């Protein structure tokens, strides 16, 4: 039936496909079908993630609740408290890359004078918006952290659609947290107050936080029970689900799954010789990075984006709590602070080497890798600065990347002095 | 402190030394009142690279600022203008003080900016509440207000007379932002106002097809090469909306009330730079520029890999087109104005006014 469907689809013109796809996104029955498929076709934490995504996608496209577009580092708890559906075009851009359809939307952005010098996540988000594929937003909230591109392109979209745009300015220093707390309070008041009390939302958030804490603890086990690639594939749960019951279910089922794998001594790679830490995110289109690493007995044991960088939220001081969560983001603040956290992850997760992915157009992250490499190498920690692109496959040079990965593996091999860590660790 | 009139024309007393900054949102008055000269870095004319430290897709100004200041002993003030400059501050280390500048024009943001200015003054070992500092600040505000009015007058003269080159303004801004008031005085007072080059002298008072009026808009123009190229090709530049231009001196600081609060408000509300997240204000200012200066064409220059300037272009282009103004988009590094490709494009743009 599947091949018949794709054969039918391949006959259609792009415009027809787009039209059909848009219709499908507003079809209640199809959501029921997708839900059924997830319940029968998947299990455990993957099923939880799918069910959550289907439910919130339906809520957004069928306008079951106000749709609030936000940049990925606006706390989703704030959106849930406002009674909205958090929708992140940056996540949609990653999905478009994973489905292999990002090119058309990137080209649309370039036609609209949004230069290919800029981050492809935002260019693709712009193209998806212009194509009318994203759910109509009621308002947009952007945080000034982490990057310039996110807030600028969301502002352009708010101007293009004529809808309200709110910027939460995240100060650099923790002693200015109150200033941000006031901004959040003003925003909530301007939007008519919370619809879901903070206590309820923060209870879900804190439960998920504790389960996530236990998951991160389990991931210290050797061999690694979960790969960074797997975790980064579901990073949207990290960005969007905090503050919803789904996040609690997701992390609890993930915890169960990891316990099972550890019990069965099931590592991600058959012979784990090199444990790596991944900084930034990964390319979301098909590529050979992680299979190359696996072939060389290397695993991403942990990744920057899975850090729990905030403390459980306090509903007696909701605005301060949310402000603290934003200010403490691992990618914000002075690099010394980021370096400290990276060093701690290297120790906690028994890391042999760090890969810093330099995503084209991402000044804040690719601009730090030279500094991090210099500092980490002083501590004897090998660092690979890997240039590439999360969404635009035109910026992905497979040959060059594979060669650099292999050279990095050789550095790790020589560093281990030929000791077979895999045997000594298991 | 010397009487106001005499000190107007003196360079700062420099007792505290020089401080270098990247941005027009660092008010020089704040540092002059503490005995420092705040110098805006307009680094060289060659693009710099730090292959081990910075990626290729990184703003040329921030790399040049790093090159200019890496071995520089003195303090640096780096504003949170953009992601790239935040990383430059990280690389420069503790000698670089970070000045957080809000991105929205609101009272709550003025208070925050005021607090950040106070923090910086305290870090320089000065008590912002001391009488001596406050009276120095009042004097410095008067001094800088005076020079900004001179630069505004210079700009008006350049706009209204076909004979004066925009390069006079660029040179004056260089002197103003490097606190060279003696040099600025003699430059403005003397023949610093050189007439336009040969190919541009055909201009006359009223609009003349031979000499179309041009507005240049950018974040930081990097250097004067684009401005001098467009003049050489035969445009009459009637506006330089950049911090290497009018956005550095279209500020008047109220001389009443708390001087530091006045500074914070005036600087935050000065003409909108693309880093300020206020698209409505930005477009209003572009409309006003267009209505006041009546340009025939607009050149929008983006320093390569500048997110802020890149994202604003689309709406500014639409705005200019609504007024029937032709727009040319240029992006580039240092010395862009000397590149053959840019020259060809500007010349073709110039010819489109004749057809």
Q: What is the pLDDT of residue B202?
A: 31
A81-99 pLDDT tens trace: 999 999 999 999 999 999 9
> A367 at the B interface (CB within 8 A)?
yes
CB atoms within 10 A of CB A96: 26
Counted across chains A and B, CB pairs separated by less than 8 A come out at 118
CATH of domain B6-132: 3.40.50.11890
Helix, strand or coil for residue A34?
helix
**Which chain A residues are within 8 Å of B102, Cβ to Cβ?**
169
Q: Domain residues of chain B, as ranges?
A: 6-132
Q: Which two tokens stand for residue B32?
A: 């002059």
- Contact (Cβ atoms closer than 8 angstroms) between residue A59 and residue A136: no
Helix, strand or coil for residue B346?
helix
> A204 at the B interface (CB within 8 A)?
no
User: CA of A147 to nearest chain B CA: how many angstroms apart?
Assistant: 6
Nearest one of A218, A297, A306 to A256, comparing CA atoms: A218
- Strands (E) across B210-274 are located at 213-218, 236-241
The pTM score is 0.93
Q: For a pLDDT cut of 90, what percent of chain B falls above it?
A: 76
Q: What is the pLDDT of residue B13?
A: 64
- Please give the mean pLDDT across all residues of chain B: 89
Look up the ipTM and state it: 0.92
Q: What is the pLDDT of residue B4?
A: 60
Q: Which two tokens stand for residue B325?
A: 């103004």
Closest CB from B82, B87, B302 relative to A368:
B87
Cβ of B108 and A153 within 8 Å?
no
**Which chain B residues are within 8 Å of A148, Cβ to Cβ?**
82-83, 275, 307-308
Q: Domains in chain A, start-ordered, CATH in brackets? A: 13-190 (3.40.50.11890)
Strand partners, B236: B213
Cβ of A366 and B55 within 8 Å?
yes
Nearest one of A310, A373, A382 to A353, comparing CA atoms: A382
User: CA of B341 to nearest chain A CA: how many angstroms apart?
Assistant: 19
> A57 at the B interface (CB within 8 A)?
no
Give the separation between CA A420 and CA A414, rounded to whole angstroms.
11
- Contact (Cβ atoms closer than 8 angstroms) between residue A320 and residue A294: no
Q: What is the pLDDT of residue B188?
A: 83
How is B96-150 classified by DSSP, letter by letter? EEEE---SS-SHHHHHHHHHHHHHHHHHTT--TTSHHHHHHHHHHHHHHHHHHHH
Q: What is the pLDDT of residue B190?
A: 65
Q: Which of B52, B62, B83, B114 to mutate to test the interface with A (most CBs of A within 10 A)?
A: B83
Cβ of B52 and A370 within 8 Å?
yes
> A136 at the B interface (CB within 8 A)?
no
Nearest one of A162, A160, A167, A154 to A138, comparing CA atoms: A162
Q: What is the pLDDT of residue A394?
A: 95
**Which chain A residues are within 8 Å of B304, Cβ to Cβ?**
117
**Which chain B residues are within 8 Å of A155, Cβ to Cβ?**
277, 279, 311
Residue B210 has pLDDT above 70, yes or no: no
Least confident of A12-21, B140-149, B167-176: A12-21
User: CA of A125 to nearest chain B CA: how many angstroms apart?
Assistant: 13
Q: What is the pLDDT of residue A416?
A: 67
Q: What is the pLDDT of residue B355?
A: 60
Cβ of A367 and B55 within 8 Å?
yes
Q: pLDDT tens digits for chain A (426 residues)?
A: 556 666 766 777 878 888 888 999 999 999 999 999 999 999 899 999 999 999 999 999 999 999 999 999 999 999 999 999 999 999 999 999 999 999 999 999 999 999 999 999 999 999 999 999 999 999 999 999 999 999 999 999 999 999 999 999 999 999 999 999 999 999 999 999 999 999 999 999 999 999 999 999 999 999 999 999 999 999 999 999 999 999 999 999 999 999 999 999 989 998 999 999 999 999 999 999 999 999 999 999 999 999 999 999 999 999 999 999 999 999 999 999 999 999 999 999 999 999 999 999 999 999 999 999 999 999 999 999 999 999 999 999 999 999 999 999 999 999 865 444 444 444
Q: What is the DSSP letter of B195?
A: B
């Amino acid at each position: 039936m599947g091949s018949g469907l794709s054969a039918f689809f391949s006959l259609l013109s792009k415009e027809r496909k787009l039209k059909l796809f848009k219709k499908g996104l507003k079809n209640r029955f199809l959501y029921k079908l997708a839900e059924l498929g997830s319940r029968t076709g998947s299990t455990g934490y993957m099923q939880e993630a799918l069910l959550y995504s289907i439910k919130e996608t339906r809520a957004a496209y069928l306008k079951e609740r106000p749709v609030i577009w936000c940049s990925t580092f606006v706390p989703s708890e704030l959106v849930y408290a406002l009674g909205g559906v958090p929708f992140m075009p940056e996540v949609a851009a990653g999905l478009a890359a994973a489905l292999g359809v990002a090119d058309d939307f990137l080209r649309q952005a370039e036609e609209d004078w949004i230069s290919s010098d800029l981050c492809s996540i935002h260019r693709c988000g712009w193209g998806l918006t212009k194509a009318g594929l994203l759910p109509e937003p009621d308002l947009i909230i952007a945080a000034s952290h982490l990057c310039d591109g996110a807030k600028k392109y969301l502002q352009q979209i708010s101007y293009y659609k004529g809808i309200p745009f709110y910027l939460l300015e995240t100060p650099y220093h923790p002693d200015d947290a109150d200033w941000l707390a006031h901004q959040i309070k003003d925003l909530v008041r301007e939007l008519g107050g919370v619809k879901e009390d903070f206590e309820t939302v923060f209870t879900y958030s804190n439960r998920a936080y504790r389960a996530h804490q236990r998951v991160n603890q389990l991931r210290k086990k050797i061999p690694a029970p979960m790969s960074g690639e797997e975790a980064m594939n579901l990073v949207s749960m990290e960005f969007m689900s905090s503050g919803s019951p789904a996040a609690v279910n997701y992390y609890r089922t993930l915890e169960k799954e990891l316990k099972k794998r550890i019990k069965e001594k099931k590592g991600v790679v058959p012979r784990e010789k090199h444990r790596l830490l991944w900084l930034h995110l990964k390319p979301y289109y098909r590529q050979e990075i992680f299979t190359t690493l696996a072939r060389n007995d290397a695993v991403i044991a942990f990744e920057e984006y899975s850090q729990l960088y905030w403390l459980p939220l306090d509903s007696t001081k909701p605005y301060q709590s949310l402000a603290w969560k934003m200010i403490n983001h691992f990618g914000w603040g002075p690099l010394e602070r980021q370096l400290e956290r990276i060093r701690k992850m290297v120790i906690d997760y028994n890391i042999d080497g760090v890969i810093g992915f330099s995503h084209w157009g991402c000044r804040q992250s690719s601009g730090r890798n030279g500094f991090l490499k210099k500092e980490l190498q002083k501590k004897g920690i090998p660092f690979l600065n890997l240039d590439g692109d999360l969404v635009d496959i035109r910026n992905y040079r497979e040959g060059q990347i594979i060669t650099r990965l292999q050279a990095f593996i050789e550095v790790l091999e020589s560093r281990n002095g030929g000791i077979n860590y895999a045997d000594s660790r298991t | 402190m010397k009487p106001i009139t005499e000190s107007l024309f003196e360079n700062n007393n420099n007792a505290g030394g020089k401080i270098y900054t990247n941005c027009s949102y660092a008010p020089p008055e704040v540092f002059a009142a503490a005995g420092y000269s705040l110098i805006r870095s307009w680094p060289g004319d060659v693009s710099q690279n730090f292959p081990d430290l910075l990626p290729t897709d990184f703003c040329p100004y921030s790399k040049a600022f790093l090159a200019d200041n890496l071995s520089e002993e003195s303090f640096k003030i780096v504003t949170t203008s953009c992601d790239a400059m935040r990383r430059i501050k990280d690389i420069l280390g503790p000698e670089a003080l970070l000045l957080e500048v809000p991105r929205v024009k609101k009272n709550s943001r003025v208070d925050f900016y005021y607090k950040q200015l106070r923090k910086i003054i305290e870090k320089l070992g000065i008590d912002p509440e001391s009488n001596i500092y406050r009276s120095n600040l009042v004097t410095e505000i008067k001094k800088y207000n005076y020079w900004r009015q001179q630069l505004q007058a210079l700009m008006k003269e350049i706009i209204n007379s076909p004979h004066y080159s925009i390069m006079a303004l660029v040179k004056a801004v260089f002197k103003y932002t490097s606190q060279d008031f003696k040099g600025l005085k003699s430059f403005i007072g003397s023949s610093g106002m050189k007439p336009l080059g040969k190919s541009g002298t055909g201009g006359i008072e009223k609009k003349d097809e031979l000499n179309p009026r041009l507005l240049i808009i950018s974040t930081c123009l990097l250097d004067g090469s684009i401005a001098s190229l467009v003049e050489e090709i035969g445009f009459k530049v009637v506006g330089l909306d950049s911090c290497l231009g009018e956005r550095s001196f279209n500020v008047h600081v109220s001389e009443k009330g708390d001087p530091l609060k006045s500074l914070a408000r005036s600087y935050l509300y000065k003409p909108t730079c693309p880093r300020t997240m206020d698209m409505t204000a930005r477009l209003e200012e572009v409309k006003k520029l267009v209505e006041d200066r009546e340009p025939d064409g607009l050149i929008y220059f983006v320093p390569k890999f500048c997110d802020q300037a890149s994202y604003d272009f689309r709406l500014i282009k639409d705005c200019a087109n609504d007024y029937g103004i032709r727009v040319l988009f240029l992006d580039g590094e240092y010395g862009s104005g000397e590149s053959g490709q840019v020259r060809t494009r500007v010349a073709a743009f110039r010819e489109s006014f004749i057809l």
